[in-house]
Structure 1
């Protein structure tokens, strides 16, 4: 091998190690790799940022904006609620929810599709006494399977489509992925319905709602001349912390509530909502000059919402006291669930970790603003009348964009970008919401890794690796080569970003096809399926992390359901792709 080839392989190994370690953000690792490739002369400086204008990046960004508009129509939740009668049981629940999730994630972002279905799944669990652990992991995997079937279902599909553009001068069509993706998705869903859910841990998880918080909220009044009279809210919080309590809200005229700033000074007669059991506070109320008024399920105007902390959140490692959510956002943290166990006491001292489910309370608009700004993953349902004017303004541009792309009237990036712009123009989503909907770290990974992947071809690295492997192990038959490509993609995507996996593997897939004298399409599809099959760990895909807290899962739980599912995917996809390779 030449020096540039050895250098690019070393650089890729460093990127994989950095992403797999979990200590470096994938977007930062990818950007560092790009800059290093430029500094080492592997990527021309004039082409360093060409990846950010690539069709793949535009397609993913436009699809995310369109997904947000469809997400807020309430169509997915309505279908789930309508098709799941009482007493359905785990098998039917997974069949219905998994089918809806797979079909939805073929057209909208996987994470959005799953987050829309989790509230419906948890309602079924509460109603029919089903452990959330039995439903949520299969549901996560079902949405990931559905993403394999279309161009915009998942970023790896968009990346291998760009790889085809480089190899053959034309990208994949919108539904070209369905040839292999649909059989894999159907077989995978059948496995999850019939056997997969039985292998999942049956822990209770965090399935709390407003009713669950009720016993922990009490209403008190400030006594004249008591210790709390003249105290600030922050000072009262410090005093209540000794009894594992905190101030939630001030109750004003008409029983309207508001979350107070820590500097607010309390006076005699003020009414407060406290988060604590009255029995736990005990004599402490009297010592603070507070009189118990009544139990209160929730203050008027306040809402309770759950949200999952992603691994790259700036909340990770910080305590609730350091966050000062009430002062900054007007939102209370009233519970933290970790691995299915919910903590309500000593919240100020808990250090938040990735995968934690936060139970937040405040006015609806304040909670929504906090969740959106801090990048949390909400578990609360959104609802909008399906036939409403706004729903039509979201669905019609999306459907039109897909129709234009499928008909070949315009390239997919152009058609979807135009549809996204039309959605914003029609008010289906605001410009601010559109920007917030875009997963910028994913776009950075795409834009940074595409030039690095191109360097594998320009330096001849992909061909050199393949020649070395073939010379050592012999030239494999197409089924073996396809299976190995999927297996390597699955392994990498379990520990690193799936978009980066696809970017690294796509040039290799093209090189293998050329060495075997076969068309590149089935080999690129093998990479897409492998990169989208991160079923063994919670860090491989955001969906797996999203269900970790609500399902009560632990890191080592995923392989129990995921390993057989990966075997099913390889077993079903290999003959389909082999047939494509021979035609």
Structure 2
């Protein structure tokens, strides 16, 4: 047998050696980072594939993986998504639009102040990604109404939520992931607002920068709807029937569009109550067929005036008017967990399924109006959609499309606002009391309720009280982020188990030891900040969390400043639109180019790095 001479015992022994396992984990880590940057696969699939490799090589056991999956970090993030969704469903966050419009009064700088302060105030207690998703339509509507470039406000909106998220351990998933990692290693010195002193100084510097220097560097760029030639016209959805004896019987739907319906777009042909799924050029019209088409207001009026009857069609033209409905033109963004991501327009069949047309696509700073049926959509694409209200509602609510037009208040469950306020009040108040445990037994009692307990209780309250339905709660969670965190937690576990994290920490101490503990903390922050601009902030947090704790032990120092270096460094994604999800969302919605983030965000990154380095030793003891 060709395999009889293979010494399996030697191979197993080689795989079980500490040095081999460290090399495997190190090489795997590099490959994961390259895959994240090159986007060979969705990031969550890449992370889970890394976990599978670690299991196949025997580095992680089933128990190790299940232990990582039971980490409180991703479970806390799930609860925060549900809490955030409840605030949206009850209209609490949406009510900010009233204050926003009242205070801003059409002034750009006033709008900048209000939107950044409002986003900053909410973000320590609500996951910052939903905050941006909810506030984007408000900002875009305000900009359209007052002829202000949305690009002047959307980058500040994203940056303000990132800055606000650093003021508590639950404001950003980055902090939650790091917290779960170090708690597993035995460090229990972080409460809900332990990070607040640094976060407030950090955020104050960032906001002042946005209001002064950064404001001058913000570009003035058009959004998708204003980039279309000829602007946007209001259209109508019309329906006509092919009566007996019509001259159009036996012709195709395309022939009809090119003759009687010139200048319109046929949406659908219905026959005996069923929608014809074939391409229009292959549909031969029959008696009784109903044809739905889009027609702008000018065309409707021209036909009406020409014939003197409603909609202008009479039996002499072989068409009988049946129906007239308004259609909407809506901007929407493809979410990370949308079924649209990765599919072509032909595969989606939007016309057949929803009576929806895609007028244009905005992707990474460029506008695509000449897309074909083979054009594939990716997460983050902004679409300009046209179609009837019922189809638009289905596509926005069920297909994971984030609407960038202002949402209707009718969708809010306002009668349950009191329960949502109660849940958030308990969450914030008990968390705040627990942060003062050093001041006596009274406060120490509340310190036992860690962020996961509080988030879980809050999520349970809003679901039981009816603020959000169970199905809506499941749908509110971005499961791609959760699986990314779970996969990278397993990689972090492998780094700790094989001793790779400790070996790297030894190397750092040997190199930076003579320069001092503060130099190492500053370098750790800078490394995390650079990495998070290229790959997911959660991936950086999961990998660097255990490393920061090991570095502190090797320096015989207080672990907290090292841990905070990872929390703040991994959240400091300002220079690119790809490191942080909120940046990705505003990137397409605001019509930005990649260089806009570099121009505005790189100076902010350097400023915050300097502030962190200068203040960390003053706020938290290094030894």
- Which residue pairs with 1:247 in the alignment? 266
- Which residue pairs with 1:528 in the alignment? 567
C-alpha contact (below 8 Å) 1:336/1:347 kept by paired residues: no
1:468 aligns with 2:507: yes
C-alpha contact (below 8 Å) 1:220/1:290 kept by paired residues: no
- Which residue pairs with 1:16 in the alignment? 33
- Which residue pairs with 2:382 in the alignment? 357
Q: Distance in 2 between matches of 1:445 and 1:154?
A: 15
Q: Distance in 1 between matches of 2:255 and 2:520?
A: 67
- Which residue pairs with 1:321 in the alignment? 346
More moved, 379-388 vs 392-401: 379-388
Shift of 1:433: 0.7
- Which residue pairs with 1:518 in the alignment? 557
Shift of 1:86: 5.6
Q: 2:108 aligns with which of 90, 114, 119?
A: 90
SS at match of 1:106: coil
SS at match of 2:332: strand
Task: Evaluate the alpha carbon distance shift between residue 183 and residue 326 of structure 1 in structure 2; reply closer, same or farther with a 3 A threshold.
Answer: same
1:415 aligns with 2:454: yes
- Which residue pairs with 1:481 in the alignment? 520
Q: Distance in 2 between matches of 1:551 and 1:457?
A: 41
For 1:264-343, list aligned pairs within 5 A: 272-274=292-294, 299-300=325-326, 303-310=328-335, 313-316=338-341, 318-329=343-354, 331-338=356-363
Q: 1:401 aligns with which of 415, 420, 427?
A: 427
- Which residue pairs with 1:135 in the alignment? 153
Q: Distance in 1 between matches of 2:318 and 2:606?
A: 62
Task: Evaluate the alpha carbon distance shift between residue 370 and residue 266 of structure 1 in structure 2; reply closer, same or farther with a 3 A threshold.
Answer: farther
- Which residue pairs with 2:49 in the alignment? 32
Q: Which runs of 5+ in 2 are unaligned?
A: 1-17, 304-311, 433-445
Q: 1:44 aligns with which of 61, 69, 78?
A: 61
- Which residue pairs with 2:88 in the alignment? 71
Q: Deviations over 1:208-243 (max 9, x none)?
A: 79x97434547575575556557787x689869x97
Q: Distance in 1 between matches of 2:544 and 2:589?
A: 33
Task: Evaluate the alpha carbon distance shift between residue 83 and residue 307 of structure 1 in structure 2; reply closer, same or farther with a 3 A threshold.
Answer: closer
Shift of 1:137: 1.4
Shift of 1:559: 0.9
- Which residue pairs with 1:560 in the alignment? 599
C-alpha contact (below 8 Å) 2:576/2:598 kept by paired residues: yes
1:3 aligns with 2:7: no
Q: TM-score, normalised by structure 2?
A: 0.80
1:126 aligns with 2:151: no
Shift of 1:578: 2.0
Q: Distance in 2 between matches of 1:557 and 1:421?
A: 41
Q: Distance in 1 between matches of 2:155 and 2:267?
A: 33
Q: Which runs of 5+ in 1 are unaligned?
A: 252-257
C-alpha contact (below 8 Å) 1:310/1:542 kept by paired residues: no
SS at match of 2:383: strand
Q: Distance in 2 between matches of 1:104 and 1:246?
A: 44
Task: Evaluate the alpha carbon distance shift between residue 145 and residue 290 of structure 1 in structure 2; reply closer, same or farther with a 3 A threshold.
Answer: farther
Shift of 1:466: 2.4
Shift of 1:313: 4.8
Note the aligned Cα RMSD (angstroms). Answer: 3.8
SS at match of 1:2: helix
Q: 2:540 aligns with which of 468, 487, 501?
A: 501
C-alpha contact (below 8 Å) 2:331/2:383 kept by paired residues: yes
C-alpha contact (below 8 Å) 2:330/2:404 kept by paired residues: yes
Aligned residues: 568
Q: TM-score, normalised by structure 1?
A: 0.86
For 1:567-578, list aligned pairs within 5 A: 567-578=606-617
